[in-house]
Chain A
Amino acid sequence: MTIKIIGIGNRYRHDDGVGPALIDLLSNKPLANVEAVSCLCEPASLISALSGVKQAVMIDASQSTGTPGQIQKVEPDQLSPSSQAAASSHGFSLGQALSIAKALGKMPEHTIVLAVEGLDFGHGEGLSPPVRKALPELLDRVCREIRAMRSNDVNAGAIHDA
């Protein structure tokens, strides 16, 4: 079964582009039965990208109190559709976009989000040194998540077959 990797972010705002940067890496090293796409955090595009997908790994930049380059695995339910972000008519947070996808019944059966702590979200291309340095580990984490999802498939199949 195809697994979809979605790199979310704006590559013209430095570290916000870490998701698309990972998708660029995957384009040079395509994985079997994996579809990789970049996407802005815009509900129409994101929900379209999730359409018909059973398993998805999303990569997004985070801005919390963590160390730049640190990778955290987050379940979609942990992303709150914060009310403050709802204030804007121009943008939606990933939490809001995924909440809309869930309300519309468009969420894949299994979705995980890998959040990479960013350092610089200013205007311009290119990742900051600590985030760029984290890309190999991020690729490794994505591959591990894909293997785990496939393993669950096999196990689910085994249970089903039993």
Chain B
Amino acid sequence: MTSKTIKVDYLTRVEGEGSLFLRIDKDKVTEARLNIFEPPRFFEAFLRGRSASEAPDITSRICGICPVAYQMSAIHAMERAARIRIEGPLRDLRRLLYCGEWIESHALHIFMLHAPDFLGFDDAIAMAREHPDIVQTGLSIKKAGNSIVECLGGREVHPINIRLGGFYRVPQISELEALRDTLKRARDDMERVIDWISKLPFPDVSRDYEFVSLRHPDEYPMNEGQIVSNKGLEIDVSAFDDTFEEEHVPHSTALHAIIKGRGAYFVGPMARFNLNFAQLSPLASEAAKRTGLSEGCTNPFKSILVRAIEVLFAFEEALRIISIYERPEAAHVEIDPADATGWAATEAPRGLLYHHYKIDPQGRIETARIIPPTSQNQKIIEDDLKTVAQHFIGLSDDELKWRCEQTIRNYDPCISCAAHFLTLNIDRASEGL
């Protein structure tokens, strides 16, 4: 055998439409492509001419699972343009809302989409027949996250209560108190199930990554912080465009992001965990240590465990915020950015989400630029595929496809967010062809 191609024409258990193509020459993986064929969605184009105040609601429509992330990045960018900082309970409520989204998104991915990969099940339905307790626990955990988003956002999906300067309505203390028992039960369930997740069979694969995330001096990053990496990057968000660049590649409708002069970088839960380990809550930190995780984890397959640690953290953080909540007199601060530029990066469940807006003197959006986490991770995913496929080169085509799809799901990619993004093709052309 000299070479062959392996293809997966439609990747499952990811959001959006993409495929995978591998070319193998003489038992060496020579090419790995994550093809993204979902059409571009033109959100940046139809933001132009709209009021700055509409950006949170319009951009939240980019994603059904992480709308809060889009709302948060849009809001912070507009507030930066208006040179206003939101502090106190309104800031805390935003962080609480983000906790809800992290829990919803991570729980869905851990229990319904990624765990079946490790145990050889085709999907969550097959896994539920063999591990009903785990799937039931996962669904309860996700529902607890839903309850936070519903309480603060007005509904579970595509929340509608978020605006520049704060919220349309802020909850009564009693409304948050009513969440407390549900969150405590789900936190305890999560702590127990982390031990089960830590015993999943993790392939022994590691790479030398440049992890990039926000870092904040006082907290595990969600809404604010400097952009840092494990290789010396330390910049204000305003320097994003000078530091990172996006490039077109022929096989993707999503732009590939790189660090100028350095190349691919890794955003998401593993980056946050490795760069902010010291900021984890006590229970999350202890659970990480108990399961053998420490800062500097470079096995991408352990991302499922890192997500679980972040879910535990999010429950603790949510409970902390609820315990100190005092209802503000005003639900929002008036903000009308005009003739200004604003930018922000917040930590979506899948990683750094950057927004940049130029606002005209009438307060309308002149230009918008949105760089989602999946777009930033595409190159790292392709590099991982090469490494993993090479590591498992002796497997049959079907087994190799399985490993490659699992590798992609390590990143919980949201192709719909990135398309501006799966199917696997392995090319091992037979001898004589």
Contact = CB atoms under 8 A, between A and B. Distances in A.
A100 B140 CA distance: 13
Contacts of B132: 103-105
Given A103-B129, A104-B135, A105-B132, A86 B12 contact: yes
A1 B10 CA distance: 46
B14 A45 contact: no
A40 interface: yes
Contacts of A103: 125, 128-129, 132, 135
Interface string A94-115: 0010011001111000000000
Of B113, B128, B140, which is in contact with the most chain A CB atoms at under 10 Å from its CB?
B128
A42 B156 contact: yes
Given A88-B15, A89-B65, A103-B128, A43 B10 contact: no
A47 interface: yes
Interface residues of B, number: 32
Contact of B13 (A42, A44, A89, A91): A89
B85 to A, nearest CB: 33
A32 B15 CA distance: 42
B252 to A, nearest CB: 18
A43 B139 contact: yes
Interface string B100-141: 000000001100110000000001110011001001100110
A40 B135 CA distance: 19
A155 B416 CA distance: 52
A126 interface: no
B143 A100 contact: no
A83 B11 CA distance: 11
A160 interface: no
Contact of A89 (B10, B108, B142, B143): B108
B125 A44 contact: no
Nearest to B409: A89
Contact of A100 (B13, B109, B128, B146): B128
A87 B10 contact: yes
A14 B15 CA distance: 23
Interface string B138-156: 0110110010000000001
A45 B125 contact: no
B348 to A, nearest CB: 14
B53 to A, nearest CB: 20
B64 interface: yes
B15 A89 contact: yes
Contact of A96 (B16, B125, B156): B125
Contact of B15 (A40, A90, A99): A90
B412 interface: yes
Interface string A57-97: 00000000000000000000000010100111111000010
Interface of A: 40, 42-45, 47-48, 81, 83, 86-91, 96, 99-100, 103-106
6 contacts: A44-B143, A45-B156, A91-B64, A103-B128, A103-B129, A105-B132
Interface of B: 10-16, 63-65, 108-109, 112-113, 123-125, 128-129, 132, 135-136, 139-140, 142-143, 146, 156-157, 412, 414, 416
Given A43-B139, A45-B143, 6 more contacts: A44-B146, A87-B10, A89-B65, A89-B412, A99-B128, A104-B135
